[in-house]
Structure 1
Amino acid sequence: MPDTSEGKKPLLRFLGFDFGEKRIGVATGQKTLGTTQALCVLKAENNQPNWEQVDALIKEWQVDAFVVGLPLNMDGTEQPVTLMAKKFAKRLHGRFGLPAFTHDERLSTAEVREYLFELGGYKKVKDSDFDAYAAELILKSYFESETTS
C-alpha cells in the first residue's frame, strides 16, 4: 500500500537526505520500483543547505516526500545531531509543504563502504560523494522497511 498524506495522492518519488552539520548527502528514489540514485552533496552552513538548491532538486525530480536519516547511538538513544536532523526534516516540511519522514540510519557508514565495495571499491569514490551514497542507502532502507511493515 503506497504512503499517502491525509488522503492525497500516493507518495512515490522521494528525496533522501544524509544530514550533517557541514555536508548533506542527497539521493532520489521511486518507491514503487524500489529504485534509488545518489545525486549530490550540499554544503551546509549553520546546519542548513542552500534552500534554493533543495528547491531546484525538488522541481527536477518532481518529488512527493522526503526521508531524512536519523543518526542514533547504537543503543537507540539520541545524540545532539539527532535533534538537528529532526529539525532539518521539520524545515523541509515547513518550507516545501511535502511530508518529511525520518529513518534510523545506524550502521549506514559501514553499509555505504560495503555497498561501494560491491560497486567496484569505495576508494574510487571521492570523499565528497560519500554522503550522497549514504543518503541513497537511507532511502533504500526506508523503502524496504515500508514494504515489510
Structure 2
Amino acid sequence: MSDSTILGFDFGERRIGVAMGAAEVGVATPLVTIDTPSNDERFTAIAKLIAEWQPGALVVGLPTHADGTEHEMTRLSRKFAQRLKGRFALPVWLVDERHTSLLAESMLNDAGVRGRKQKTALDQVAAMAIVQTWFEAGGEAV
C-alpha cells in the first residue's frame, strides 16, 4: 500500500471498528471489528493491520454531545488517538463522529442487515463513515 491508504477507527471501550480508505479515490471500506477490552490485544491487532495496509495516516472518530460539547468518551478517544500517534509514529487525525453511528445503522438497514449481524458490522461501518467524513471535510491533527 502507499501513503494514500488511510485506516480509520471508531473507538469504543469494548469494540473498535476499523475501516480502510483509499485517498486517491476518496472511498472507504469496512475492515474489521476489534472486540476485546484488553489494550494489549487491541494494539497488537492494530499493529497487524498497520503492517498489512501500511497507511499514510490514521483517523479516529471524536464523539461529542449533539451540541458539540465533550464528554468522557471524547476524552478516551483523544487518549486513544495520542497512543496511536506515539506507538506508530503516523499522522493521526480526529474527526467529528456525531452522526456516524446513525448513518452506519441506516446504511446497514438499507442493505437488509439487522439484529446480531448488524451489531457485528456496525462499528466497522461507523469507521468507514469516519474515514469518508475525513475525505470530505478533513479533521483536527493530533
- TM-score, structure 2 length as denominator? 0.88
Alignment of structure 1 residues 1-149 onto 2, 5 Å:
11-45=3-37, 49-118=41-110, 120-123=111-114, 125-146=117-138
**CA distance in 2 between partners of 1:82 and 1:49 (Å):** 22
Cα pair 1:22 1:47 within 8 Å, conserved: no
SS at match of 2:95: strand
- Counterpart Cα distance in 2 of 1:97 and 1:38: 23
The alpha-carbon distance between structure 1 residues 13 and 49, as it changes in their structure 2 partners (threshold 3 A), is: same
Question: Any unmatched runs of 5+ in structure 1?
Answer: 1-9
Deviation (angstroms), 1:13: 1.1
Report if the CA contact (8 A) 1:47-1:84 is conserved: no
CA contact (8 A) 2:3 2:54 kept: no
Q: Which amino acid in the other structure matches residue 114 of structure 2?
A: K
Q: Displacement of 1:106 after TM fit?
A: 0.5
Structure 2: unaligned runs, 5 residues or longer:
none
Instruction: Report the 3-state secondary structure (helix = DSSP H, G, I; strand = E; otherwise coil) of the residue aligned with 2:114.
Output: helix
Find the residue that maps to 1:77 and give its secondary structure. coil
AA aligned to 1:122 is V
Instruction: Tell me, yes or no, if the aligned pair for 1:13 and 1:63 is still in contact at 8 Å.
Output: yes
Identity %: 39
Note closer, same or farther for the CA distance 1:49–1:108 as it changes in structure 2 (3 Å cut).
farther
Distance 2:37 2:112 in 1: 30
CA distance in 2, matches of 1:107, 1:47: 26
Stretches of 4+ aligned residues off by more than 3 angstroms: 46-49
Moved more, 19-28 or 35-44: 35-44
Q: Provide the rounded CA distance (Å) in 2 between the counterparts of 1:29 and 1:141.
A: 11
Q: Which amino acid aligns with 1:107?
A: H
In 2, the alpha carbon distance for the partners of 1:133 and 1:115 equals 8
Partner SS state of residue 33, structure 1 = coil
Say how many residue pairs are matched: 136
Counterpart CA distance in 2 for 1:94 and 1:131 is 24
